[in-house]
């Protein structure tokens, strides 16, 4: 891909990370409101864990894109 496309992809990855952080914050609120017992709590806590794992994947993807953008800038 070219530098412009990769830069746009990087910007989207950053937006995705920001959105994931908002979802995590909201899910933490929900988990906190439910208290540590019951099936709703377990489901909410599992969803929070899933969101956190997804954030990790998004951040790893962002790192790869950033490295590619830097490489393209250096090659230019």
Confidence at residue 16, expressed as pLDDT on a 0 to 100 scale: 99
Confidence at residue 41, expressed as pLDDT on a 0 to 100 scale: 96
Confidence at residue 9, expressed as pLDDT on a 0 to 100 scale: 98
Strand, helix or coil at 1? coil
**Main-chain phi, psi angles of 2, to 5 degrees:** -90, 170
Confidence at residue 76, expressed as pLDDT on a 0 to 100 scale: 79
* Cα–Cα distance, 2 to 21 (Å, whole number): 29
> Tokens at residue 50, please?
């899933």
Confidence at residue 35, expressed as pLDDT on a 0 to 100 scale: 85
* Residue with token string 């990370």: 17
Give the pLDDT of the chain (76 residues) as one tens digit per residue: 899 999 999 999 999 999 999 999 999 999 999 988 888 999 999 999 999 999 999 999 999 999 999 999 999 7
């Amino acid at each position: 891909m070219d530098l412009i496309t990769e830069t746009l992809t990087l910007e989207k990855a950053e937006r995705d990370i920001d959105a994931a952080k908002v979802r995590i914050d909201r899910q933490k609120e929900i988990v906190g409101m439910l208290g540590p017992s019951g099936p709703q709590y377990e489901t909410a806590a599992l969803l929070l864990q899933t969101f956190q794992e997804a954030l990790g994947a998004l951040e790893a993807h962002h790192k790869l894109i950033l490295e590619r953008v830097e490489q393209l800038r250096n090659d230019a």
